């Protein structure tokens, strides 16, 4: 097959898309969703309409009775909300459904008696013809996604001055989600030659795979919270009580069967629900908006570096050694600044503790031991509880306590502010050590420097109902394979390939 045939097939696919009436309608609807990003400007202190009318956020919030926190940028909050609504809801759900319905007839029309007789006599293999019909669907969605995402990005950039390069990944994610469903649509259409059947079965798959994935996440979350483990132990303990024990065993077998079924379906079906999570991860990678440092074991995150400092080493350390930040400027007194982070197990060795059962170490206990060490060295160490405001992305705000040990080192001519702050979470005690010469930072500035860093401390929310947040914290490029993004992508692509190969197998056995 030469280049002219490939160009002819591409032109045929493009023409098939452009001649589609539903495609034209969807283009108009897409442009209508893009227009507001050009007509309305979201600025740091005001909102403008058609470049003529302007309203301050303070006036709008007083009218609506909804106050805005002083540490929130309303323009970014509104724009990001609009991006999520249009991409994840309108385009990611309704848009995909409309596109599936609009492209479901591509393969059945090819297999109609007169069209099939004409196409299959041409010097083009059936494999190429099927793949080009599949490609036509991708082209259909690719154009719409590019118009929607690119148009919104350009509108927000030109009118509101807000640029988010990672947002462009949303177009790729929409095509990826559609590609998974369209492969199944092609398979059904090849087998049944019915576009209506194809649409119905794809809608069932879309809904069913989402339900399976949600159920699987709930199962994994419950196991992580020990809910199923406790239930299993209660049932096993009741086995010795006769009829009640047999009833519990039946219930236990039923729960195990559901768990195995969810595992099988989850790993076999495409992970359509992961598309949004993967988009967020790609945006973080492109924009650098993710946490600066994250503890993979506990889920604790530091959203940004201390002011004027740079993290050394991995952003997901193993904590077998101290994690440290060094000054961005390595000249003068500023080069003597340092920030160090370390964690230790809260369960000490029982033999070392001299007890039959080791007692868990708290942050206060670790702080008192450290203060005693500093006083033995002749330092006038002060111990105090410090409350700080946690600035959490997508998390609720609340007050958290640190145990702070502060002292001064060095000579009278060149003193150095020192502090070590302790807190505990889950199975670990953490401490953060700050050091800065007084010549570049007075006592008040030193405290502000610490507070600024801890405002970026995000602790995982362990509320039972927040399963989605729990899943996002475990889902990643380097996570275990159950929560691994690469496994999610490649297993979904495996489903796609299996559908296309099955469709090709069926197509080659048509005797027309």
- What pLDDT, on the 0 to 100 scale, is given for residue 464? 40
pLDDT for 512 equals 57
Break the chain into its structural domains and give their ranges: 3-214+481-507, 300-458
21-30, 111-120, 171-180: least confidently modelled range: 111-120
**Distance between CA atoms of residues 425 and 362, nearest Å:** 9
Instruction: Reply yes or no on whether the pLDDT at 112 is more than 50.
Output: yes
Predicted pLDDT at 406: 93
- Is the per-residue pLDDT at 396 higher than 60? no
Q: What angle do CA 31, 84, 462 make, to 5 degrees?
A: 170
Contact 312, 293 (CB under 8 A): no
- pLDDT value of position 224: 72
Give 408-451 pLDDT, tens digit per residue.
Answer: 988 888 899 999 999 888 788 999 999 999 989 898 999 889 98
Output the CA–CA distances (angstroms, integers) from residue 435 to 11, 37, 124, 432, in the order listed: 66, 47, 72, 10
Instruction: State residue 254's pLDDT score.
Output: 75
Lowest mean pLDDT among 46-55, 233-242, 366-375: 233-242
415-425 sheet: strands from edge to edge? 309-311, 323-327, 338-345, 428-437, 415-425, 399-410, 382-389
Q: What is the DSSP string of 118-184?
A: HHTTSSS-HHHHHHHHHHHHHHHHHHHHHHHHHHHHHHIIIII----GGGGHHHHHHHHHHHHHHHH
Q: How confident is the model at residue 322, as a pLDDT?
A: 93
Q: What average pLDDT does the segment 239-252 reach?
A: 58
For residue 472, how far is the Cα from the chain centroid? 5
Q: Residue 416 — φ and ψ, nearest 5°?
A: -130, 130
The answer to whether 181 touches 496, Cβ cutoff 8 Å, is: no
Whether the pLDDT of residue 394 is over 60: the answer is no
In this prediction, residue 40 carries a pLDDT of 92
> Does pLDDT of 235 surpass 60?
no
Residue 143 has pLDDT above 90, yes or no: yes
Q: What is the mean pLDDT of residues 269-288?
A: 79
Strand partners, 11: none
Distance CA 470, CA 462 (A): 8
Q: Give me the sign of the Cα torsion angle 480, 321, 287, 297.
A: positive
Q: Is the pTM of this model over 0.85?
A: no
- What does the pLDDT look like over 16-54, one tens digit per residue? 888 888 889 999 999 999 999 999 998 888 888 887 888
Q: Report which listed range, 9-13, 63-67, 175-179, 409-413, is most confident.
A: 175-179
Which of 153-157, 328-332, 371-375 has the lowest average pLDDT? 328-332
C-alpha to C-alpha distance for 282 and 287, rounded to whole angstroms: 8
What are the Cα distances from residue 188, in Å, to 13, 108, 136, 246?
A: 20, 10, 17, 44
Taking residues 340-355, what's their average pLDDT? 71
Q: Which of 12, 33, 140 is nearest to 82 (CA)?
A: 33
Predicted local distance difference test score (pLDDT) of residue 390: 45
What are the helix and strand counts (H, E) for the chain?
A: 18, 13
Q: Which residue has the higher pLDDT, 472 or 65?
A: 472
The single residue listed with the structure tokens 């795979």 is 209
> Which overall architecture, per CATH, does domain 300-458 show?
3-Layer(aba) Sandwich (3.40)
Residue 59 has pLDDT above 60, yes or no: yes
When the pLDDT of each residue in the chain is averaged and rounded to a whole number, the result is 81
Sign for the CA dihedral angle at 353, 358, 360, 365 comes to: negative
**Which residues, listed in sequence order, are joined to residue 420 by a DSSP beta bridge?**
405, 433
Q: Say what the pLDDT of residue 142 is.
A: 93
309 or 73, higher pLDDT: 309
pLDDT at 267 over 50: yes
Closest CA to 189 of 148, 134, 144, 146: 134
Q: Is 376 exposed, middle or buried (0-12, 13-18, 19+ CB in 10 A)?
A: exposed
Residue 329 dihedral angles phi and psi, to the nearest 5°? -105, 120
pLDDT in tens, 475-492: 888 788 888 999 999 999
Handedness of CA 17, 23, 24, 28 (dihedral sign): negative
Asked if pLDDT for residue 355 goes beyond 90, the answer is no
CA proximity to 311, closest of 296, 328, 330, 298:
328
- What is the model's pLDDT at position 398? 39
* Closest C-alpha to 133, from 101, 111, 118: 111
Asked if the model's pLDDT at residue 305 lies above 70, the reply is yes
Residue 381 has pLDDT above 60, yes or no: yes
């Amino acid at each position: 097959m030469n280049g002219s045939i490939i160009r002819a097939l591409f032109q045929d696919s493009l023409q098939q898309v452009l001649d589609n009436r539903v495609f034209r309608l969807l283009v108009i609807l897409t442009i209508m969703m893009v227009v507001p990003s050009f007509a309305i400007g979201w600025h740091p202190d005001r909102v403008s309409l058609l470049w003529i009318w302007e309203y301050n956020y303070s006036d709008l919030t007083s009218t609506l009775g909804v106050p805005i926190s002083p540490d929130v940028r309303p323009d970014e909050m509104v724009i990001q909300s609009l991006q999520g609504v249009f991409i994840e809801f309108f385009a990611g759900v309704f848009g995909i459904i409309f596109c599936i319905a609009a492209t479901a007839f591509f393969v059945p029309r090819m297999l109609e008696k007169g069209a099939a007789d004409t196409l299959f006599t041409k010097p083009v293999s059936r494999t190429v013809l099927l793949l080009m019909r599949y490609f036509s669907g991708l082209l259909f969605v690719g154009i719409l996604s590019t118009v929607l995402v690119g148009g919104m990005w350009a509108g927000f950039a030109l009118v509101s001055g807000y640029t988010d390069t990672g947002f462009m990944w949303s177009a790729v994610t929409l095509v990826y989600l559609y590609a998974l469903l369209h492969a199944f649509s092609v398979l059904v259409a090849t087998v049944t030659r019915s576009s209506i059947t194809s649409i119905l079965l794809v809608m069932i798959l879309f809904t069913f795979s989402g339900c399976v994935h949600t159920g699987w996440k709930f199962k994994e979350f419950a196991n992580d919270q020990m809910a199923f483990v406790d239930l299993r132990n209660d049932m096993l303990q009741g086995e010795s009580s006769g009829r009640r024990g047999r009833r519990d065993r039946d219930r236990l077998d039923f729960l195990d069967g559901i768990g195995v079924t969810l595992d099988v379906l989850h790993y076999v079906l495409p992970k359509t629900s992961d598309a949004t999570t993967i988009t967020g991860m790609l945006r973080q990678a492109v924009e650098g908006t993710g946490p600066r440092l994250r503890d993979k074991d506990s889920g604790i995150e530091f959203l940004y570096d201390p002011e004027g400092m740079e993290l050394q080493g991995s952003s997901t350390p193993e904590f077998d050694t101290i994690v440290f930040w060094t000054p961005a400027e390595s000249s003068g007194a500023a080069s003597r600044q340092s920030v160090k982070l370390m964690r230790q197990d809260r369960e000490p060795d029982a033999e070392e503790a001299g007890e039959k059962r080791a007692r868990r170490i708290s942050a206060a206990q670790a702080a008192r031991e450290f203060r005693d060490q500093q006083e033995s060295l002749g330092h006038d160490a002060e111990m105090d509880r410090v409350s700080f405001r946690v600035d959490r992305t997508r998390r609720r705000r609340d007050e958290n306590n640190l145990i702070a040990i502060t002292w001064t080192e060095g000579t009278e001519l060149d003193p150095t502010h020192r502090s070590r702050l302790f807190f505990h979470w889950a199975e670990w005690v953490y401490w953060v050590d700050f050091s800065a010469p007084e010549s570049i930072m007075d006592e008040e500035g030193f405290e502000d420097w610490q507070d600024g860093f801890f405002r970026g401390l995000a602790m995982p929310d362990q509320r039972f109902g927040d399963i989605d947040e729990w899943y996002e914290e475990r889902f990643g490029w380097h996570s275990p394979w159950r929560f691994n993004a690469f496994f999610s992508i490649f297993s979904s692509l495996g489903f796609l390939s299996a559908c296309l190969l099955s469709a090709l197998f069926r197509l080659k056995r048509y005797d027309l």
